[in-house]
Amino acid sequence: PGYAATTAELVVAAAAAADRPRPYIAGYVRSAIGSEAQARFRQEGDRYASFPAYGAHFARMEAAPWDTGVVGETGAEIKAGLRRFDSALDEVVVRAIVANDALDAYRELIEAAAPSH
């Protein structure tokens, strides 16, 4: 969330300097619920980091790939993790990483990530 806030501030400042309206800021947040999904999350992060462009981006953020998303064992942990992005982003786009491709696995994460309005 820290780097999301830094990036959002840069975008807002650039828009203001160009005399443009504040842009809508959305962020892609990889998320996983449950231990099996978290293992896939970590494998995916390792794969991303192996690509030079992504590896350089993680280095700029001074973060490991698995530190840039949200993981948890419960829906409450997922909600709490996603809320950490609220102050930086207008919208969080959840990239669902689940233990398997079963509909129920996606549904569990979608329900956990759904905003509480």
Separation in Å, CA 75 to CA 8, 9, 71: 27, 30, 10
* pLDDT tens digits, 27-60: 999 999 999 999 999 999 999 999 999 999 999 9
- Identify the band that residue 117 occupies on the pLDDT scale cut at 50, 70 and 90: low
- Identify the band that residue 109 occupies on the pLDDT scale cut at 50, 70 and 90: very high
Higher pLDDT, 116 or 5: 5
For residues 104 and 98, give the distance between their C-alpha atoms in angstroms, rounded to a whole number: 10
Contact between residue 33 and residue 99 where contact means Cβ atoms under 8 Å apart: no
Whole-prediction pTM: 0.88
* pLDDT tens digits, 6-33: 999 999 999 999 999 999 999 999 999 9
Run of H or E residues at 97: strand 91-97
Run of H or E residues at 111: helix 103-113
